[in-house]
Protein backbone atom coordinates (compact mmCIF):
# COMPACT_ATOMS: atom_id res chain seq x y z
CA UNK A 1 0.00 0.00 0.00
CA UNK A 2 0.96 3.63 -0.50
CA UNK A 3 1.96 5.43 2.73
CA UNK A 4 0.53 8.84 3.69
CA UNK A 5 1.88 11.26 6.32
CA UNK A 6 -0.27 14.23 7.49
CA UNK A 7 1.54 17.29 8.87
CA UNK A 8 -0.68 20.07 10.29
CA UNK A 9 -0.60 21.93 13.59
CA UNK A 10 -4.42 21.74 13.94
CA UNK A 11 -5.65 18.46 15.39
CA UNK A 12 -9.12 18.87 13.85
CA UNK A 13 -7.60 19.27 10.38
CA UNK A 14 -5.47 16.16 10.83
CA UNK A 15 -8.50 14.19 12.06
CA UNK A 16 -10.62 15.51 9.21
CA UNK A 17 -8.05 14.50 6.57
CA UNK A 18 -7.68 11.05 8.10
CA UNK A 19 -11.43 10.41 8.15
CA UNK A 20 -12.74 12.30 5.12
CA UNK A 21 -12.34 9.43 2.65
CA UNK A 22 -11.90 5.64 2.73
CA UNK A 23 -8.13 5.48 2.14
CA UNK A 24 -8.07 1.69 1.75
CA UNK A 25 -10.15 2.03 -1.41
CA UNK A 26 -7.22 3.90 -2.92
CA UNK A 27 -4.70 1.40 -1.53
CA UNK A 28 -3.40 4.09 0.82
CA UNK A 29 -2.70 3.83 4.53
CA UNK A 30 -2.15 6.79 6.86
CA UNK A 31 1.13 5.89 8.58
CA UNK A 32 1.46 8.95 10.79
CA UNK A 33 0.56 12.47 11.85
CA UNK A 34 2.69 15.41 12.97
CA UNK A 35 1.73 18.66 14.69
CA UNK A 36 4.86 20.62 13.74
CA UNK A 37 7.56 20.68 11.06
CA UNK A 38 10.33 19.13 13.14
CA UNK A 39 8.22 16.13 14.14
CA UNK A 40 7.05 15.77 10.54
CA UNK A 41 10.65 15.67 9.30
CA UNK A 42 11.64 13.00 11.82
CA UNK A 43 8.63 10.86 10.94
CA UNK A 44 9.32 11.29 7.23
CA UNK A 45 12.85 9.96 7.76
CA UNK A 46 11.53 7.03 9.79
CA UNK A 47 8.40 6.09 7.83
CA UNK A 48 9.44 7.10 4.28
CA UNK A 49 5.92 8.04 3.14
CA UNK A 50 4.97 8.14 -0.54
CA UNK A 51 2.55 11.06 -0.07
CA UNK A 52 2.68 13.97 2.39
CA UNK A 53 0.04 16.54 3.30
CA UNK A 54 1.93 19.60 4.52
CA UNK A 55 0.48 22.72 6.14
CA UNK A 56 2.28 25.94 5.26
CA UNK A 57 2.05 27.51 8.74
CA UNK A 58 3.51 25.18 11.38
CA UNK A 59 5.72 25.89 14.41
CA UNK A 60 9.49 25.23 14.62
CA UNK A 61 9.80 24.34 10.91
CA UNK A 62 7.30 25.85 8.52
CA UNK A 63 5.83 24.02 5.56
CA UNK A 64 8.16 25.43 2.92
CA UNK A 65 11.26 24.63 5.02
CA UNK A 66 9.92 21.13 5.59
CA UNK A 67 9.32 20.60 1.86
CA UNK A 68 12.89 21.62 1.05
CA UNK A 69 14.18 19.03 3.54
CA UNK A 70 11.78 16.33 2.27
CA UNK A 71 12.91 16.89 -1.31
CA UNK A 72 16.44 15.96 -0.25
CA UNK A 73 15.64 12.80 1.71
CA UNK A 74 12.61 11.57 -0.29
CA UNK A 75 13.03 12.94 -3.82
CA UNK A 76 10.33 10.59 -5.20
CA UNK A 77 7.62 11.53 -2.68
CA UNK A 78 4.49 13.47 -3.67
CA UNK A 79 3.90 16.59 -1.56
CA UNK A 80 0.54 18.35 -1.38
CA UNK A 81 0.27 21.68 0.42
CA UNK A 82 -2.75 22.19 2.69
CA UNK A 83 -3.20 25.89 3.48
CA UNK A 84 -5.76 28.37 4.70
CA UNK A 85 -4.07 31.14 2.77
CA UNK A 86 -4.67 31.91 -0.88
CA UNK A 87 -1.33 33.68 -1.20
CA UNK A 88 0.35 34.05 -4.58
CA UNK A 89 3.83 34.00 -3.01
CA UNK A 90 3.12 30.66 -1.35
CA UNK A 91 1.83 29.19 -4.62
CA UNK A 92 4.86 30.47 -6.53
CA UNK A 93 7.28 28.99 -4.00
CA UNK A 94 5.34 25.72 -4.07
CA UNK A 95 5.79 25.51 -7.84
CA UNK A 96 9.52 26.14 -7.47
CA UNK A 97 9.74 23.28 -4.96
CA UNK A 98 7.94 20.88 -7.35
CA UNK A 99 4.93 20.51 -5.05
CA UNK A 100 2.30 18.22 -6.59
CA UNK A 101 -0.71 20.43 -5.73
CA UNK A 102 -1.87 23.28 -3.49
CA UNK A 103 -5.21 22.82 -1.67
CA UNK A 104 -7.07 25.51 0.23
CA UNK A 105 -8.96 24.79 3.43
CA UNK A 106 -11.70 23.72 3.81
CA UNK A 107 -11.06 20.73 1.59
CA UNK A 108 -13.85 19.08 -0.32
CA UNK A 109 -13.98 15.28 -0.16
CA UNK A 110 -14.61 14.85 -3.88
CA UNK A 111 -11.75 17.17 -4.78
CA UNK A 112 -9.37 15.31 -2.47
CA UNK A 113 -10.41 11.88 -3.79
CA UNK A 114 -9.83 13.00 -7.38
CA UNK A 115 -6.44 14.45 -6.44
CA UNK A 116 -5.40 11.20 -4.75
CA UNK A 117 -6.27 9.21 -7.86
CA UNK A 118 -3.97 11.48 -9.87
CA UNK A 119 -1.22 11.15 -7.27
CA UNK A 120 -1.42 7.35 -7.31
CA UNK A 121 -1.10 7.26 -11.11
CA UNK A 122 2.04 9.37 -10.84
CA UNK A 123 3.44 7.10 -8.13
CA UNK A 124 2.69 4.01 -10.19
CA UNK A 125 4.45 5.52 -13.20
CA UNK A 126 7.44 6.44 -11.06
CA UNK A 127 7.53 2.93 -9.64
CA UNK A 128 7.37 1.39 -13.11
CA UNK A 129 10.05 3.76 -14.36
CA UNK A 130 12.26 2.99 -11.36
CA UNK A 131 11.78 -0.74 -11.85
CA UNK A 132 12.60 -0.36 -15.53
CA UNK A 133 15.78 1.58 -14.77
CA UNK A 134 16.79 -1.05 -12.23
CA UNK A 135 16.24 -3.70 -14.89
CA UNK A 136 18.29 -1.68 -17.40
CA UNK A 137 21.17 -1.30 -14.94
CA UNK A 138 21.02 -5.00 -14.10
CA UNK A 139 21.11 -5.91 -17.79
CA UNK A 140 24.01 -3.54 -18.38
CA UNK A 141 25.94 -5.03 -15.47
CA UNK A 142 25.20 -8.61 -16.53
CA UNK A 143 26.10 -7.92 -20.16
CA UNK A 144 28.85 -5.36 -19.56
CA UNK A 145 31.56 -7.21 -21.46
CA UNK A 146 29.26 -7.93 -24.41
CA UNK A 147 28.29 -4.25 -24.61
CA UNK A 148 31.91 -3.19 -24.19
CA UNK A 149 33.20 -5.55 -26.87
CA UNK A 150 30.48 -4.50 -29.30
CA UNK A 151 31.47 -0.86 -28.87
CA UNK A 152 35.20 -1.54 -29.31
CA UNK A 153 34.49 -3.55 -32.44
CA UNK A 154 32.61 -0.55 -33.82
CA UNK A 155 35.39 1.79 -32.77
CA UNK A 156 38.17 -0.12 -34.54
CA UNK A 157 36.17 -0.99 -37.64
CA UNK A 158 34.62 2.42 -38.33
CA UNK A 159 35.71 6.00 -37.81
CA UNK A 160 33.57 7.15 -34.88
CA UNK A 161 33.64 10.81 -33.98
CA UNK A 162 35.59 12.03 -30.96
CA UNK A 163 32.28 12.86 -29.26
CA UNK A 164 30.88 9.35 -29.85
CA UNK A 165 34.04 7.74 -28.48
CA UNK A 166 34.12 9.98 -25.40
CA UNK A 167 30.44 9.39 -24.63
CA UNK A 168 30.67 5.60 -24.94
CA UNK A 169 33.88 5.37 -22.91
CA UNK A 170 32.23 7.44 -20.19
CA UNK A 171 29.21 5.11 -20.12
CA UNK A 172 31.58 2.14 -19.85
CA UNK A 173 33.64 3.86 -17.13
CA UNK A 174 36.81 3.50 -19.20
CA UNK A 175 39.46 6.20 -19.61
CA UNK A 176 42.33 6.39 -22.09
CA UNK A 177 44.58 9.38 -21.55
CA UNK A 178 47.79 9.95 -23.48
CA UNK A 179 49.54 7.30 -25.56
CA UNK A 180 47.61 4.13 -26.36
CA UNK A 181 48.89 0.79 -27.66
CA UNK A 182 46.93 -1.55 -29.91
CA UNK A 183 47.96 -5.14 -30.50
CA UNK A 184 46.38 -7.52 -33.03
CA UNK A 185 46.90 -11.26 -32.57
CA UNK A 186 45.86 -14.27 -34.62
CA UNK A 187 46.86 -17.91 -34.05
CA UNK A 188 48.79 -19.43 -36.94
CA UNK A 189 46.36 -21.94 -38.35
CA UNK A 190 47.39 -25.57 -38.02
CA UNK A 191 51.00 -24.84 -37.09
CA UNK A 192 52.59 -25.37 -33.73
CA UNK A 193 56.10 -24.83 -32.48
CA UNK A 194 58.88 -26.90 -34.03
CA UNK A 195 56.82 -27.15 -37.21
CA UNK A 196 54.36 -29.57 -35.60
CA UNK A 197 50.67 -29.55 -36.38
CA UNK A 198 48.24 -29.35 -33.48
CA UNK A 199 44.48 -29.61 -33.52
CA UNK A 200 42.89 -27.17 -31.08
CA UNK A 201 39.27 -26.52 -30.33
CA UNK A 202 38.85 -22.95 -31.55
CA UNK A 203 36.98 -21.67 -28.47
CA UNK A 204 39.44 -23.28 -26.07
CA UNK A 205 42.43 -21.92 -27.95
CA UNK A 206 41.14 -18.34 -27.98
CA UNK A 207 40.05 -18.57 -24.35
CA UNK A 208 43.52 -19.80 -23.38
CA UNK A 209 45.33 -17.06 -25.30
CA UNK A 210 43.13 -14.34 -23.78
CA UNK A 211 43.61 -15.85 -20.33
CA UNK A 212 47.39 -15.70 -20.73
CA UNK A 213 47.18 -12.07 -21.84
CA UNK A 214 44.85 -11.15 -18.97
CA UNK A 215 47.27 -12.62 -16.45
CA UNK A 216 50.20 -10.76 -18.01
CA UNK A 217 48.34 -7.42 -18.02
CA UNK A 218 46.47 -7.77 -14.72
CA UNK A 219 48.55 -5.00 -13.13
CA UNK A 220 47.80 -2.55 -15.95
CA UNK A 221 44.57 -0.62 -15.51
CA UNK A 222 42.22 -0.01 -18.43
CA UNK A 223 43.39 -2.97 -20.50
CA UNK A 224 40.71 -4.05 -22.97
CA UNK A 225 40.92 -7.50 -24.61
CA UNK A 226 38.32 -8.62 -27.14
CA UNK A 227 37.77 -10.47 -30.42
CA UNK A 228 36.86 -8.77 -33.68
CA UNK A 229 34.61 -10.13 -36.42
CA UNK A 230 37.58 -11.75 -38.21
CA UNK A 231 38.84 -13.88 -35.30
CA UNK A 232 41.62 -11.52 -34.27
CA UNK A 233 42.32 -10.94 -30.60
CA UNK A 234 42.66 -7.21 -29.97
CA UNK A 235 44.44 -5.62 -27.02
CA UNK A 236 44.07 -1.91 -26.27
CA UNK A 237 45.84 -0.36 -23.30
CA UNK A 238 47.45 2.89 -22.11
CA UNK A 239 51.20 3.23 -22.69
CA UNK A 240 53.39 4.81 -20.04
CA UNK A 241 56.66 3.14 -20.99
CA UNK A 242 57.30 2.09 -24.58
CA UNK A 243 60.09 -0.29 -23.67
CA UNK A 244 57.71 -2.17 -21.36
CA UNK A 245 55.12 -2.25 -24.16
CA UNK A 246 57.58 -3.83 -26.62
CA UNK A 247 58.69 -6.32 -23.98
CA UNK A 248 55.04 -7.26 -23.40
CA UNK A 249 54.69 -8.04 -27.12
CA UNK A 250 57.63 -10.43 -27.00
CA UNK A 251 56.55 -12.01 -23.71
CA UNK A 252 53.03 -12.68 -24.98
CA UNK A 253 54.40 -14.57 -27.98
CA UNK A 254 56.81 -16.53 -25.80
CA UNK A 255 54.13 -17.40 -23.24
CA UNK A 256 51.65 -18.61 -25.87
CA UNK A 257 54.38 -20.74 -27.44
CA UNK A 258 55.48 -22.09 -24.05
CA UNK A 259 52.09 -22.96 -22.59
CA UNK A 260 50.07 -23.72 -25.72
CA UNK A 261 52.83 -24.83 -28.10
CA UNK A 262 51.23 -22.56 -30.67
CA UNK A 263 52.62 -19.83 -32.89
CA UNK A 264 50.72 -16.56 -33.30
CA UNK A 265 50.79 -13.59 -35.63
CA UNK A 266 51.26 -10.46 -33.54
CA UNK A 267 51.42 -6.89 -34.78
CA UNK A 268 51.30 -3.73 -32.71
CA UNK A 269 51.21 0.04 -32.92
CA UNK A 270 51.66 2.86 -30.42
CA UNK A 271 49.20 5.72 -30.97
CA UNK A 272 51.08 8.83 -29.90
CA UNK A 273 47.98 11.03 -30.18
CA UNK A 274 45.71 8.74 -28.17
CA UNK A 275 42.67 6.59 -28.84
CA UNK A 276 40.93 8.61 -31.58
CA UNK A 277 42.94 7.34 -34.58
CA UNK A 278 42.69 3.71 -33.58
CA UNK A 279 40.54 2.63 -36.56
CA UNK A 280 43.30 3.53 -39.02
CA UNK A 281 45.95 1.70 -36.96
CA UNK A 282 43.73 -1.38 -36.59
CA UNK A 283 43.12 -1.58 -40.35
CA UNK A 284 46.85 -1.36 -41.03
CA UNK A 285 47.73 -4.06 -38.48
CA UNK A 286 45.09 -6.46 -39.81
CA UNK A 287 46.48 -5.91 -43.32
CA UNK A 288 49.98 -6.83 -42.08
CA UNK A 289 48.64 -10.09 -40.61
CA UNK A 290 46.80 -10.90 -43.84
CA UNK A 291 50.07 -10.45 -45.74
CA UNK A 292 51.93 -12.68 -43.25
CA UNK A 293 49.36 -15.44 -43.77
CA UNK A 294 50.45 -15.77 -47.40
CA UNK A 295 53.78 -17.36 -46.39
CA UNK A 296 54.32 -21.11 -46.04
CA UNK A 297 54.38 -22.52 -42.48
CA UNK A 298 58.18 -22.98 -42.56
CA UNK A 299 58.79 -19.34 -43.52
CA UNK A 300 56.24 -18.12 -40.98
CA UNK A 301 58.01 -19.96 -38.17
CA UNK A 302 61.46 -18.91 -39.41
CA UNK A 303 60.43 -15.25 -39.56
CA UNK A 304 58.91 -15.43 -36.09
CA UNK A 305 62.05 -17.04 -34.68
CA UNK A 306 64.14 -14.26 -36.19
CA UNK A 307 61.73 -11.59 -34.91
CA UNK A 308 62.05 -13.00 -31.39
CA UNK A 309 65.81 -13.63 -31.34
CA UNK A 310 67.14 -10.72 -33.45
CA UNK A 311 68.98 -9.35 -30.38
CA UNK A 312 71.33 -12.37 -30.23
CA UNK A 313 74.61 -11.49 -31.90
CA UNK A 314 75.27 -15.16 -32.70
CA UNK A 315 71.95 -15.75 -34.50
CA UNK A 316 72.66 -17.71 -37.69
CA UNK A 317 70.78 -19.34 -40.55
CA UNK A 318 71.78 -22.76 -39.19
CA UNK A 319 70.14 -22.04 -35.81
CA UNK A 320 66.92 -20.88 -37.44
CA UNK A 321 66.92 -23.91 -39.75
CA UNK A 322 67.45 -26.20 -36.78
CA UNK A 323 64.45 -24.63 -35.03
CA UNK A 324 62.11 -25.14 -37.98
CA UNK A 325 63.73 -28.52 -38.70
CA UNK A 326 64.68 -28.04 -42.35
CA UNK A 327 67.96 -27.93 -44.28
CA UNK A 328 69.67 -24.45 -44.07
CA UNK A 329 70.04 -24.25 -47.85
CA UNK A 330 66.38 -25.08 -48.32
CA UNK A 331 65.35 -22.46 -45.75
CA UNK A 332 67.56 -19.83 -47.39
CA UNK A 333 65.92 -20.51 -50.75
CA UNK A 334 62.41 -20.36 -49.23
CA UNK A 335 63.14 -17.06 -47.49
CA UNK A 336 64.47 -15.53 -50.68
CA UNK A 337 61.57 -16.77 -52.80
CA UNK A 338 58.82 -15.67 -50.40
CA UNK A 339 60.18 -12.52 -48.76
CA UNK A 340 62.46 -11.32 -51.54
CA UNK A 341 65.32 -11.11 -49.04
CA UNK A 342 68.19 -13.33 -48.04
CA UNK A 343 68.50 -14.46 -44.43
CA UNK A 344 71.07 -11.76 -43.68
CA UNK A 345 69.02 -9.03 -45.35
CA UNK A 346 65.87 -10.05 -43.50
CA UNK A 347 67.70 -10.22 -40.15
CA UNK A 348 69.31 -6.85 -40.79
CA UNK A 349 65.98 -5.23 -41.60
CA UNK A 350 64.42 -6.61 -38.41
CA UNK A 351 67.32 -5.34 -36.32
CA UNK A 352 67.20 -1.86 -37.86
CA UNK A 353 63.43 -1.62 -37.40
CA UNK A 354 63.83 -2.58 -33.77
CA UNK A 355 66.64 -0.07 -33.31
CA UNK A 356 64.31 2.70 -34.48
CA UNK A 357 61.86 1.71 -31.76
CA UNK A 358 64.65 2.07 -29.17
CA UNK A 359 65.40 5.51 -30.53
CA UNK A 360 62.06 6.60 -29.14
CA UNK A 361 63.97 6.76 -25.85
CA UNK A 362 66.20 9.84 -26.12
CA UNK A 363 68.27 8.70 -23.12
CA UNK A 364 69.64 5.62 -24.93
CA UNK A 365 73.09 5.95 -26.48
CA UNK A 366 73.82 4.63 -29.97
CA UNK A 367 76.16 1.94 -28.67
CA UNK A 368 73.48 0.80 -26.22
CA UNK A 369 70.94 0.52 -29.03
CA UNK A 370 73.47 -1.43 -31.10
CA UNK A 371 73.88 -3.96 -28.28
CA UNK A 372 70.12 -4.24 -27.82
CA UNK A 373 69.60 -5.29 -31.44
CA UNK A 374 72.43 -7.82 -31.71
CA UNK A 375 75.47 -5.84 -32.93
CA UNK A 376 78.78 -6.26 -31.11
CA UNK A 377 80.13 -2.89 -32.23
CA UNK A 378 78.63 0.53 -32.85
CA UNK A 379 80.58 0.75 -36.11
CA UNK A 380 79.02 -2.40 -37.56
CA UNK A 381 75.56 -1.22 -36.44
CA UNK A 382 76.04 2.24 -37.97
CA UNK A 383 77.14 0.73 -41.27
CA UNK A 384 74.08 -1.57 -41.42
CA UNK A 385 71.74 1.25 -40.36
CA UNK A 386 72.99 3.61 -43.06
CA UNK A 387 72.71 0.89 -45.69
CA UNK A 388 69.03 0.30 -44.83
CA UNK A 389 67.85 3.81 -43.87
CA UNK A 390 70.20 6.00 -45.90
CA UNK A 391 71.62 8.03 -43.01
CA UNK A 392 73.69 7.21 -39.94
CA UNK A 393 71.86 6.43 -36.69
CA UNK A 394 73.31 9.59 -35.10
CA UNK A 395 72.02 11.77 -37.93
CA UNK A 396 68.67 9.98 -37.86
CA UNK A 397 68.25 10.49 -34.14
CA UNK A 398 69.52 14.07 -34.04
CA UNK A 399 67.33 14.97 -36.98
CA UNK A 400 64.22 13.94 -35.02
CA UNK A 401 63.11 11.65 -37.82
CA UNK A 402 62.04 9.04 -35.26
CA UNK A 403 59.29 11.36 -34.05
CA UNK A 404 57.42 10.94 -37.30
CA UNK A 405 57.83 7.19 -37.61
CATH of the domain at 122: 3.40.50.2300
Are residue 117 and residue 148 in the same domain, yes or no? no
Distance CA 311, CA 306 (A): 9
Looking at the fold, whether 226 and 267 belong to one and the same domain comes out as: yes
Q: Are residues 372 and 353 in the same domain?
A: yes
Are residues 166 and 191 both part of a single domain?
A: yes
Share of the chain above pLDDT 70, in %: 91
Mean pLDDT, the chain, whole residue set: 87
292 has pLDDT over 60: yes
Q: What is the mean pLDDT of residues 157-167?
A: 88
Asked if 183 and 235 touch (Cβ cutoff 8 Å), the reply is yes
Which distant-in-sequence residues (6+ apart) come within 8 Å of 334 by Cβ? Answer: 296, 298, 299, 302, 326
pLDDT tens-digit map of 40-97: 999 999 999 999 999 888 888 888 889 999 999 998 899 998 887 666 566 667 677 8
* Residue 105 sits in the same domain as residue 212: no
Which CATH number goes with the domain that contains 231?
Answer: 3.30.70.270
Task: List, in sequence order, the alpha helices (H) in 143-218.
Answer: 144-157, 162-171, 202-216
- Write out pLDDT tens, residues 313-347: 999 999 999 988 899 999 999 999 999 999 999 99
**84 plus 213 within the same structural domain:** no
319 shares a domain with 212: no
The pair phi, psi for residue 320, each rounded to 5°, is: -65, -45
Are 188 and 264 within 8 A, CB to CB? yes
CATH number, position 312:
1.10.10.60
Q: Are residues 241 and 177 in the same domain?
A: yes
Q: In the listed set 264, 294, 324, which residue is the last one of a domain according to the structure?
A: 294
pTM score: 0.58
Q: Looking at the structure, do residues 148 and 289 belong to the same domain, yes or no?
A: yes
Domain boundary among 114, 139, 164: 139
Q: In b/e form, how buried is each residue of 198-214, taking b as 16+ CB within 10 angstroms?
A: eebeeeebbebbbebbe
Residue 394 sits in which domain range?
A: 295-405
Q: Identify the domain boundary among 111, 139, 167.
A: 139
Amino acid sequence: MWKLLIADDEKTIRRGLRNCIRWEELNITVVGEAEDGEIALEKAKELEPDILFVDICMPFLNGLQLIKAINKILPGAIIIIISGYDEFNYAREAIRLNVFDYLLKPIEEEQLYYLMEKAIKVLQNKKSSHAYMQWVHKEINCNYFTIRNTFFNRMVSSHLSKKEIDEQLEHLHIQFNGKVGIMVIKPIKGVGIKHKTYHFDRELLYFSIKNIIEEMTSNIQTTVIFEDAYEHIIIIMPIKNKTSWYELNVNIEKSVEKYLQRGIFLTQKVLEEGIYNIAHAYKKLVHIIEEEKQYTPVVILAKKYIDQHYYKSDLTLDKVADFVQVNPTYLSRLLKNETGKSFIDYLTNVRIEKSIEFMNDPSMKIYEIAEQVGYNTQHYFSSAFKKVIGVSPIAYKQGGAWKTK
